A and B are shown apart, each in its own frame.
Chain A
Amino acid sequence: MAKKDLTLVELEADPELSLEELCETCHITSSFIYELIEYGTLELHDTTPEMWRFNTRHLQRIQRVLRLQHDLEINLAGAALAMDLMDQIEQLEAQVELLEKSLKQGER
């Protein structure tokens, strides 16, 4: 068995995918993307689907939804709700970290 020891990988800062490329990468249909946008799980700025560009952050959110749906056996509405709540938790945790740091410095 050939064992690859070290592979040098250069990465683009933030490669962007078109809707078509995205669907191919995630093995999904474009209607799934439209639904995610309707639920507000994905936010895109350009108005027409041809103009949409998806970055790795989008890609990751889509994959997270797919995993939640499949692994927890929940529907898209449930997965979208979980995503909303996790976003909120993430923001709150960042604020807590910030406040804890200021408190610690106050004690010095």
Chain B
Amino acid sequence: MEFKDYYTTLGLSRTATDEEIKRAYRKLARKYHPDVSKEKNAEERFKEVQEAYEVLKDPKKRGAYDQLGSQWKSGQDFRPPPDWQGFSGFDGAGFSNEGAGFGGFSDFFESIFGQARQGGRRQKQRGPFRQQGRDEHAKIAISLDDAFHGGSKTVQLQVPEIDAHGRMHHVTRALKITIPAGITAGQQLRLAKQGTPGAGGGEPGDLYLEMEIQPHRIFTLQGHDVYLTLPITPWEAALGAKVTVPTLGGPVELKIPPGAQAGQKMRLKGRGLPKRPTPGDQYIVLQVHVPPAKTEAERALYEKMAHEMPSDPRKNLL
């Protein structure tokens, strides 16, 4: 497994004070927190920062980590020394990344601080070791069409699993998920008991999947409402027309009233994403597309309009 240089992760020297460690963590946590950050790989970076802080903020753990020596470089192949012990004193109490967190620490961390990881907020009683597993979180991206129709999607997730010896490994699991129709961005699916397995007969944690809806070529989503910009011709706008417009459920006929203007918004009731008790709507924003005059005859038509329909759209500007 790869050695992790926790000091480098936080941008610190090995002599950093507790105050410096806390300051570095807080700064990086704000920068990379997945709930806040727009940085690339924010989640991955945040986990690294959090793991580094978990070790360096605790004098006992930091001391143990420092014992490994400073000759190790990040990414080097690491194996714990054969006489590795003295870390068994870590009970769960010091580990606080439970519950709503973003998932586990690295294999490197697990190898140094071991099963102690299996502690935390949920373990209220001492005595016989029986521990509920941790909740896991993941994001999955689905198309707007899947959000509308519902559908199934197979996702691959890296999840921790505990083997017969009580050690934690990361394994890849494929989950086939049935997406309910009408799911919106940010909505979570909770998969009860699909998180990290419990220890000592404890219940497994839950798995939360947060939906991200991929941008659509023509539709824009706002909550359960769907927006579409619809180009029309000047004469369709002036005279009114029946046009066919796409919706997520398939094409529908739309009546454009005579005298419609660019920017005018029309509503197709109930054509947005399904929702109880009432589904979202689809909004059509009209956009007048003026065809260029390509032939002499077309030019003549425009000139006739200019002559017979004098109009000053700028009269309010001057």
A residues contacting B by CB (< 8 A) are 1, 3-15, 25-27, 56-57, 59-60, 63-64, 66-68, 70-73, 82, 86, 94, 97-98, 101-102, 105-106, 108
Contacts and interface: CB of A to CB of B under 8 A. Distances in A.
Contacts of A6: 154, 174-176
A68 B36 contact: yes
Contacts of A102: 229, 285, 287
B287 A98 contact: no
Contacts of A70: 96-97, 100-101
Contacts of B30: 72
B220 interface: yes
Contacts of B169: 1
B178 interface: yes
Given A67-B101, A67-B102, A72-B30, A94 B35 contact: no
Contact of A7 (B99, B175, B227): B175
B317 to A, nearest CB: 20
B255 interface: no
- Per DSSP, chain A at the interface is helix
B190 A59 contact: yes
Which of B33, B36, B46, B164 counts the most chain A CB atoms within 10 A?
Answer: B36
A5 B177 CA distance: 13
A35 B191 CA distance: 27
Contacts of A82: 36
Contacts of A108: 231, 289
A47 B61 CA distance: 48
Contact of B221 (A63, A66, A73, A94): A94
A9 B99 CA distance: 22
A4 to B, nearest CB: 6
A106 B285 CA distance: 12
B312 interface: no
A13 B220 contact: no
A60 B187 contact: yes
B29 interface: yes
Nearest to A102: B229
Nearest to A5: B174
A61 B66 CA distance: 38
10 contacts: A1-B169, A5-B173, A11-B180, A14-B180, A25-B190, A56-B189, A57-B187, A60-B208, A63-B208, A73-B29
A3 B190 CA distance: 21
- Per DSSP, chain B at the interface is mixed
Interface string B27-39: 0011001011000
Contacts of A56: 187-190
Contacts of A1: 161, 163-164, 169, 171
B201 interface: no
B64 interface: no
Nearest to B206: A25
Contacts of B164: 1
A85 to B, nearest CB: 9
B14 interface: no
A97 B215 contact: yes
Interface string B154-192: 100000010110000101011111111111001111110
B144 to A, nearest CB: 12
Given A66-B99, A97-B215, A11 B189 contact: yes
Contacts of B181: 13
B196 interface: no
A72 B26 contact: yes
A7 B194 contact: yes
Contacts of B179: 11
Given A8-B178, A94-B220, A98-B222, 19 more contacts: A4-B173, A5-B173, A6-B176, A9-B191, A13-B182, A13-B183, A25-B190, A27-B122, A56-B188, A57-B186, A60-B210, A64-B100, A68-B35, A72-B26, A73-B29, A97-B215, A98-B227, A101-B229, A102-B229
